Amino acid sequence: MIIDCHGHYTTAPPQHDAWRKSQLAEFGEGRPAPEYPAISDDEIRESIEQNQLRLLRERGADMTIFSPRASAMAHHEGDERTSIEWARACNNLIARVVGLFPETFIGVCQLPQSPGAPLTASVAELERCVSELGFVGCNLNPDPSGGRWTSPPLTDKYWYPIFEKMTELDVPAMVHVSSSCNPNFHATGAHYINADTTAFMQFIQGDLFADFPDLRLVIPHGGGAVPYHWGRYRGLADMLHKPPLTEHVMGNVFFDTCVYHQPGIDLLLQVISTDNILFGSEMVGAVRGIDPQTGHYFDDTKRYVDAAPISDSERGKVYSANTRRVYPRLDKALRARGL
């Protein structure tokens, strides 16, 4: 079984994004959000069948841990109220996708974060999504200011309420920023990768996992710059008088395989224990074209993992065993189906 841990609903019916646009426009005028539009099951079905489902089948994966479009979370727009409404709308739409394709998709939620706001609403939405909608995790934005980086580091007590709720529900988070309103940072080319690198370094500096020994965090996009600079991070942990990274961080942190060329995936699998790597493609996502060097889609990461010089047992961990361990509610759902 092959589970893609990183898929976003980037192809939602246009009414959904149009509603968000109106919501923000009304917010700008000091008015409440308009009513959420009707979206038919057929529209949702079509948006999935022609995109994610088609590509999953073509590429040979079995299911996707599915969450709202990350770049559209835009926690820096509007305020806490608009973030709460938008997160509910996005998560409800994911629940409908899962309801229509229960064998292929399982939900991960967007949180209603807002710069400077406490995480109370995020805790409540996570509880709702897990308990009522059957979701198995969440996306946590380490920079709800969208490239201004005004929140405290992830190791700060500001974040503890969400980590406590995650621990209580036994669900992980993917640490995933959204779009950038800072012209220095291209969203998928700089802000995403920088956030991954930044989060990892925060975990080295802090002692978060002493306080939350069961917390599990997935750093997407192959861990940002971290595996390429693994020597630097091992050395910095040493300079900061921290235990080796394997003990200090890697019991709780996992990287996905959203690295879009063979040498990158090879390095990832060479440097990082295969116990810490989850298959992911970020599909349909950041890079949609075909690599002229290979004739295949850049984000067809399964090809790279298949070609990497690791054993079948290691590949099995990356393709499903690790993911089932990191997302125990997914594992439970699969077991209930005899898988």
Task: Write out the residues near a second copy by the rule CB under 8 A.
Answer: 142-143, 147-149, 151-153, 182-186, 188-190, 193-194, 197-198, 201-202, 204-205, 221-222, 224-225, 227-236, 238-239, 259-261, 263-264, 266-267, 270-271, 286-289, 291, 293, 298-299
In whole angstroms, how close is the CB of 216 to a second copy at the nearest point? Answer: 22
Supply the residues annotated as catalytic: 282
Give the shortest CB-314-to-a second copy separation in angstroms: 16
Tokens of 266: 């090879």
**Start-end of H helices in the chain:** 14-28, 41-48, 54-59, 80-100, 120-131, 160-169, 192-205, 208-211, 230-239, 245-248, 262-271, 301-307, 312-316, 322-326, 328-336
Q: How far is the CB of 37 from a second copy (least distance, A)?
A: 29
When the beta carbons of 105 and 304 are compared against a second copy, the nearer one is 304
Is 223 in contact with 255 (CB distance < 8 Å)?
Answer: yes
Residue 275 CB, nearest approach to a second copy (Å): 18
Cα–Cα distance for residue pair 286/187, rounded to 1 Å? 9
Cis-peptide into 271, omega within 30 deg: no
Query: Whose Cβ is closer to a second copy: residue 131's or residue 294's?
Result: 294
Instruction: Please identify, using beta-carbon distances, which residue of 124 and 271 lies nearer to a second copy.
Output: 271
Q: Which is nearer to a second copy, 36 or 158 (CB)?
A: 158
